[in-house]
């Protein structure tokens, strides 16, 4: 533990085997607590634990003690990174935390967050959810000013921008940074006296504000992280807004004029936890309605509806309700496999789904089955699941997907930024059906999705379905998340 960021010559922690690679992955979750007199590190730990679904590669917490910022971060899950001894050393009055899934920069310790930056006016720590599309340009400008980097991710660019613009007024520095960066960002910043939280003017990634025990405040990526610490939801932080929390309470700054509202629609489909609320809407209820709309658009004569656990459950409930086809469990999930550091041989790679899912033959044998899932991205596992169900004795397998076909890459914080990897960008509906071995295949339409969510489709980013990007993506950005790896970071980390 220490108040610095390690260099990128740290050993690479490779997650060799991930049975969920055919799902969209969000970059991270952010959390912050301003509650002097409370164990803020422990509160942040529980908040991050609730946000674990947003990133499983690394986790970190930064706290303020006096005028110092202390940080502990490491590779792994929240429960692996922190224990009682570490949390007891993170005593302080204010804290922010982060869970990460990498979309820009490798999965190495130096890219873990929060990122701590020293400034002439004191240390700051930054945690970011999203993806900055003008990272290379901003980084070059900062390096030309003599600023040295210790990581290869876009979040450090935000942190260094704020640090370089900090001339004694951190609020002004953050507002100027917001005017410089382009892309998706929900960010929390820790100073010795404040938490600053802000969102991009399109509001692509979620961020909310809550009260804590009457005098404290919390910021979080999702509302699901509020209940574990008994925080009370106040409101969502608005697109383009900066919120400053200190001993005087909450100060709001309308920093950037809100542009086209463009909340990532995959937050509703899959990314956010079903017990969260966005736009004042219950995500679980919205996902149930997606299943109802899915049946309306793609009815089928079948005997049982089964979800692909766990994210297919709400839509399967809705499909069953609308169709009056009984809902039952057909696949049992091994919830303890996660990602493993054990390198499988090729045969085990091919059996990845079998390690994760086991069919309930008594619910499938001799049945015409509707299999409901939330998405098909790369097309690498859906066919294996269909095969499992057929081998268990199903006479027919009809696949229903509660999202439209993913045809375009995401540059705003979801790890699917290479179009050649997207099966719907390469194949027709019939070709995909044949590829996965289903008797029929139906996707929810963009119109049906908007109806299910209950919010106009104009308020979402649907770029992965339509190619209509709300924020202009530079042509030279059509690249992988490792594009900054060619830039050598500073060998010596700066100490705070």
Question: Active-site positions?
Answer: 28
Q: How many residues does the chain have?
A: 496
Q: How far is residue 487's CA from residue 157's CA, in Å, rounded to a whole number?
A: 13
445: CB partners within 8 A, 6+ apart: 297, 404
- Give SS3 for 418: coil
Angle between the N-to-C axes of helices 429-436 and 382-391, in degrees from 0 to 180, rounded to the nearest 10: 50
- Give SS3 for 329: coil
HSE (side-chain half, CA atoms, 13 Å) at 463: 21
Paired strand residues for 255: none
356: CB partners within 8 A, 6+ apart: 19, 20, 333, 334, 337
248: CB partners within 8 A, 6+ apart: none
* 241-246/195-199 β-pairing: antiparallel
HSE (side-chain half, CA atoms, 13 Å) at 319: 35
413: CB partners within 8 A, 6+ apart: 26, 27, 103, 129, 130, 131, 184, 204, 205, 264
Q: How far is residue 178's CA from residue 175's CA, in Å, rounded to a whole number?
A: 5
Measured CA to CA in angstroms, residue 291 lies from 8, 95, 288, 305 at distances of 45, 40, 5, 11
In sign, the C-alpha dihedral spanning 185, 191, 195, 196 is negative
Cα 319 from chain centroid (whole Å)? 26
Angle at 135 between CA 220 and CA 483, to 5 degrees: 105
180: phi then psi, degrees, rounded to nearest 5: -90, -40
């Amino acid at each position: 533990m220490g108040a610095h960021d390690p260099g990128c010559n740290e050993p690479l922690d490779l997650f060799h085997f991930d049975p969920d690679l055919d799902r969209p992955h969000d970059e991270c979750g952010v959390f912050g607590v301003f509650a002097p007199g409370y164990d803020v590190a422990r509160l942040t730990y529980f908040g991050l634990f609730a946000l674990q679904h947003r990133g499983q590669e690394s986790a970190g917490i930064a706290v303020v003690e006096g005028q110092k910022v202390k940080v502990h971060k490491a590779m792994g899950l929240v429960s692996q990174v922190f224990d009682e001894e570490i949390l007891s050393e993170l005593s302080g009055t204010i804290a922010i935390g982060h869970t990460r899934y990498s979309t820009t920069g490798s999965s190495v310790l130096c890219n873990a967050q929060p990122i701590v930056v020293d400034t002439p006016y004191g240390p700051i720590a930054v945690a970011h959810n999203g993806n900055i599309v003008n990272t290379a340009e901003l980084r070059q400008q900062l390096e030309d000013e003599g600023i040295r980097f210790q990581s290869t991710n876009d979040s450090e660019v935000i942190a260094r921008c704020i640090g370089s613009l900090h001339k004694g007024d951190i609020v002004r520095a953050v507002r100027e940074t917001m005017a410089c960066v382009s892309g998706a960002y929900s960010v929390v910043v820790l100073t010795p006296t404040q938490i600053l939280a802000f969102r991009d003017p399109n509001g692509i990634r979620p961020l909310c504000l809550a009260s804590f025990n009457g005098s404290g405040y919390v910021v979080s990526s999702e509302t699901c992280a509020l209940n574990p610490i008994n925080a009370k939801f106040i409101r969502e932080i608005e697109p383009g807004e900066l919120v400053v929390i200190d001993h005087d309470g909450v100060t709001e700054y309308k920093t950037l004029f809100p542009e086209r509202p463009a909340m990532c629609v995959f937050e509703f489909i899959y990314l956010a936890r079903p017990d969260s609320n966005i736009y004042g809407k219950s995500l679980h209820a919205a996902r149930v309605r997606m299943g109802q709309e899915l049946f309306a658009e793609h009815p089928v004569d079948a005997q049982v509806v089964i979800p692909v656990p766990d994210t297919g459950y709400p839509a399967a409930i809705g499909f069953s309700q609308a169709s009056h086809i009984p809902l039952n469990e057909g696949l049992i999930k091994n919830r303890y496999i996660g990602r493993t550091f054990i390198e499988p041989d090729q045969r085990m790679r091919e059996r990845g789904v079998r390690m994760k899912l086991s069919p309930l033959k008594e619910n499938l044998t001799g049945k015409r089955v509707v299999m409901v899932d939330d998405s098909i991205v790369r097309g690498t596992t859906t066919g294996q699941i269909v095969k499992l169900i057929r081998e268990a004795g199903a006479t027919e397998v009809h696949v229903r997907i509660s999202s439209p076909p993913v045809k375009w890459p995401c540059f705003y914080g979801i790890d699917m930024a290479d179009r050649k990897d997207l099966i719907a960008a390469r194949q027709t509906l019939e070709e995909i059906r044949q590829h996965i071995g289903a008797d029929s295949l139906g996707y929810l339409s963009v119109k049906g999705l908007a109806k299910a969510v209950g919010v106009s489709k104009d308020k979402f980013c649907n770029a992965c379905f339509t190619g209509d990007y709300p924020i202009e993506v530079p042509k030279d950005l059509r690249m992988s998340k490792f594009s900054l790896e060619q830039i050598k970071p500073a060998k010596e980390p700066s100490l705070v």
